[in-house]
Structure 1
Amino acid sequence: MPSTEFDLIYRHFASLGAGPAVDLSVGDDCAILKLEPGERLVTSVDTMVEGVHFLPDMFPEIIGFRAVSTAASDLAAMGARPIGMTIALTLPQADDFWVHSFSEGVAETVSLYGLPLVGGDTTRGPLTISVNVLGALPAGEALLRDGAQVGDGVYVSGQLGDAAAGLAILQDEWRPEPDAAAYLVERYERPRARLELGQQLLGRATAAIDISDGLLADAGHIAAAGGVGITLTAGAIPLSAALGGAGDRALRWALTGGDDYELCFTLPAGESAPEGCTRIGEVVSGQGVQLDVDVDTDAGYQHF
């Protein structure tokens, strides 16, 4: 007998809803979550469409992990503490094996991020996943895009360009040695939301954003929101050893490839950056983002 919508939900997702902020999870018309005294609710939603945001032959457990991680990255960019999420899943058909594998990827993120699945929806149509994440912030505190000040340093976490390189490998556009290829594909398929870092930056960073559309585009959002300019030093942009054989493409991937889900943020002069973060530039008067070398590249990913 074919699985109904409720069969799919209960069989594969009902066990993923427990968390300290959850009073009522999957199984009713709404979930009930609680905030600590003095906290505010933060919410964001991300949608992934097959063939646009992930490859048609990607394993469902990877799709599940990637969908949640990319959505949770928005909480990291705000400095929020994760408290729960909902998932709307549109499927061409009620494929029990596919949904089970997808739920395994989601379950891994529930454990990794402390982000319980408290509700959602399923419907028929082209394969599409929408993840709504919920977080909490102390009253009066948040990482925003619009606070960068002239003289601030510009920093990024981790290393950039790996995810774009991983996608190029999956699309047979580049073939590095096997160990490098495995590492880079992993970075594309299984990004990590920098939730702990975001919370560390509360009260310290003047502005922040997650790098989803490429460094140039996302640093540009900070510049535009703050009414300032940003200068970047190409040689300071952190690249992984796995990109060593990519030549000039490595920097282009770091600047515009996107999908890294690292954080780009600004700190006042004299403020030390957390471990694992690199200073790559400075906030200046003016507008837009300027690089200290000429690079033949576009401005980053655009949906339209």
Structure 2
Amino acid sequence: MSLGEFDVITHYFKLHDCGVTDSGVDIGIGDDCAILDIPDGCQLAVTTDTLVAGVHFFEDVCPYRLGYKSLAVNLSDLAAMGATPKWVSLAITLPNVETHWLSEFSRGFFDLANKQGVQLVGGDTTKGPLSITVSAKGIVSRNKALKRNGAKQGDLICVSGDLGNGALGLAHKLENRSLINSQFFVDALELTEPRNELGMLLVNQASSCIDISDGLLQDLQHILDASKCSAHIKADALPFSNAMQQEIEQDKVTQEQAYQYALSGGDDYELLFTLSPDAYQDLLKQDLIDKITVIGDVLANEDEKIRITQSSKPLSLALSGWDHFKK
């Protein structure tokens, strides 16, 4: 079957219902622009990410997983702002039209969209080297969005979930590393779970928040720069999955490598946030579905921005996060 641009839109992206009855969509796919209704007292949160073949994903990646993750990384940005995800637009550049690939890509994309109650409202399809650009939109109560500039001395530094799994999954794929739980780590890399429910719970609780995409230390530095403060991170407190612990115990991964993956590996898409001690206790009383771990403290503005210790002793590691324009 030979499909043109508008056939692709109709067959794989337009005829979809996320099941949300009050979607706020006045005009969706099919016109020059989407027209969206924003509730009174709310602001619109917008984020955009581009994923490029050979840079953000392997050329032979499973299209279902690519569709899923291309939406997940955007929803993670909304989670970091405490916004409720609502709408998404998708621009996809394809080298050619492969019906099986498109079917699987759209299935992965909409599986996550359904889970989060997000509606596709527009986008574009073009021919060229494979790349995906997603723009996700959410709503948040006016002046309640989580930001990066509110961390204060005495706040606790917290993360959701476990760290380093995605980075080890990438290392396994790049280096063909021998691992006991290789599929677990590949799944962590390719089937990212955005923490939107937690992000919404952190509104009125967290003093600052960011999602971990480029490495914990690099993303934490964004909070510290915006908040004009510094931090102490306790390496012993970094949360590792049972699978990562098993790799360490079986000498597949050294403790130092695990720290490297957790602190600078990226691709975690967990939330990194700061809380006052009282807010932390209040949060623990919530019905949390996400694991929360305190990994350090916010300090007064010092020359040394981030101090890392292990068993109360300074820990020195060669660490750097992801930067597209540096090797």
Normalised by the length of structure 1, the TM-score is 0.96
Unaligned runs of 5+ in 2: 248-252
Instruction: Give the aligned partner of residue 281 of structure 1.
Output: 296
Instruction: Give the aligned partner of residue 95 of structure 1.
Output: 98
Instruction: Give the aligned partner of residue 62 of structure 1.
Output: 65
Out of 130, 150, 153, the residue aligned to residue 133 of structure 2 is 130
CA distance in 1 between counterparts of 2:316 and 2:322 reads 16
Out of 13, 29, 33, the residue aligned to residue 32 of structure 2 is 29
Residue 68 of structure 1 deviates from its aligned partner by: 0.4
Residue 236 of structure 1 deviates from its aligned partner by: 0.4
CA distance in 2 between counterparts of 1:213 and 1:174 reads 22
Instruction: Give the aligned partner of residue 74 of structure 1.
Output: 77
CA distance in 1 between counterparts of 2:31 and 2:225 reads 42
Residue 249 of structure 1 deviates from its aligned partner by: 1.2
Residue 173 of structure 1 deviates from its aligned partner by: 4.0
CA distance in 1 between counterparts of 2:145 and 2:273 reads 13
Counterparts of 1:39-58 in structure 2, within 5 Å, are 39-58=42-61
1:167 aligns with 2:167: no
CA distance in 2 between counterparts of 1:145 and 1:96 reads 42
Instruction: Give the aligned partner of residue 235 of structure 1.
Output: 236
Query: Are 1:162 and 1:240, in contact at CA under 8 Å, matched by a contact in 2?
Result: yes
Find the residue that maps to 1:23 and give its secondary structure. Answer: strand
Instruction: Give the aligned partner of residue 2 of structure 1.
Output: 2
Deviations 1:27-72 (A, max 9, x none): 1111121121111111010010001101111011111101100111
State the percentage of identical aligned residues: 39
Query: Are 1:16 and 1:110, in contact at CA under 8 Å, matched by a contact in 2?
Result: no
* Aligned partner letter, 1:146: N
Instruction: Give the aligned partner of residue 250 of structure 2.
Output: none
Bigger mean CA deviation after superposition, 14-23 or 153-162: 14-23
Find the residue that maps to 1:16 and give its secondary structure. Answer: coil
Out of 107, 115, 122, the residue aligned to residue 112 of structure 1 is 115
CA distance in 2 between counterparts of 1:297 and 1:57 reads 31
Query: Are 1:44 and 1:134, in contact at CA under 8 Å, matched by a contact in 2?
Result: yes
Residue 14 of structure 1 deviates from its aligned partner by: 1.1
Instruction: Give the aligned partner of residue 271 of structure 1.
Output: 279
Residue 295 of structure 1 deviates from its aligned partner by: 3.7
Residue 17 of structure 1 deviates from its aligned partner by: 5.1
Residue 93 of structure 1 deviates from its aligned partner by: 1.4
Deviations 1:114-148 (A, max 9, x none): 11111110111111000000000101211000000
Find the residue that maps to 1:171 and give its secondary structure. Answer: helix
Instruction: Give the aligned partner of residue 146 of structure 2.
Output: 143
